[in-house]
Amino acid sequence: MISISDAFRSNFPGARLGLLALGDVANPASHPALQQRKAELEAELRGRFGGMEKAGLKELSAMKVYDAHYKRFDKSYHVLLQLESVALKGKSLPSVATLVEAMFMAELKNMLLTAGHDLDKVVQPLTLDASRGGENYPGIRGKEETLKAGDMMIRDGFGVISSVLYGPDARTRIAPDTTKVLFTVYAPAGIGEKAVATHLKDIEDYVRLIAPAARTLVAAVR
């Protein structure tokens, strides 16, 4: 389903990618079982981290790995900001379509950067690559993104579908009628294979709250 370029291997030794593709899914605007699990997760995060300061969150092992990558580009890891919002400030995760919400929940639980796509919109095969700088793609928020050199990215047969710094694209975005979904997990060196596999399992479990009959098409760590 995906190849890894020589440029990626040379630029990011020790890095991994997680892949989870599911069929027969649904993407309703809301689902009571997922909402209950989300409330439980928020309570768990506040219990684990509520007594910490933001500086303490930055020292968590996974956060340190991602923060190091983002710092190279003078940016902050957005999952850190989201965890701070939920665990330290008592805010709730945003309510979005359920497949995306399931991904956000796992991101906060495990702190691993994940992108979601409608698999039927992806033009296979996929390639995990290192950006050379100047590659363009329409970001999920409607803005044209131009990649900086030295970032991690995934492209399909048509173009870039995600990068670490700018997230997923608009072309393959998850939609209300999505029935096949692809989640990809960027894991720089320092994020272990077991951590990525556990993260994929968490996403799958959350999706099955919405779509119990979902079929696992791919679940792999490369």
**Residue 33 maps to which CATH number?**
3.50.40.10
> Mean pLDDT across the stretch 216-220?
97
CA 12/CA 154 separation, integer angstroms: 14
44-73 in b/e burial notation, b at 16+ Cβ within 10 A?
ebeeebeebeeeebeebebbebbbebbeee
Whether the CB-CB separation of 3 and 18 falls below 8 Å is answered with no
- The answer to whether the pTM exceeds 0.85 is yes
Averaged pLDDT of the chain: 96
Structural domain harbouring 94: 2-221
Q: How many domains does the chain have?
A: 1
> Mean pLDDT across the stretch 32-56?
95
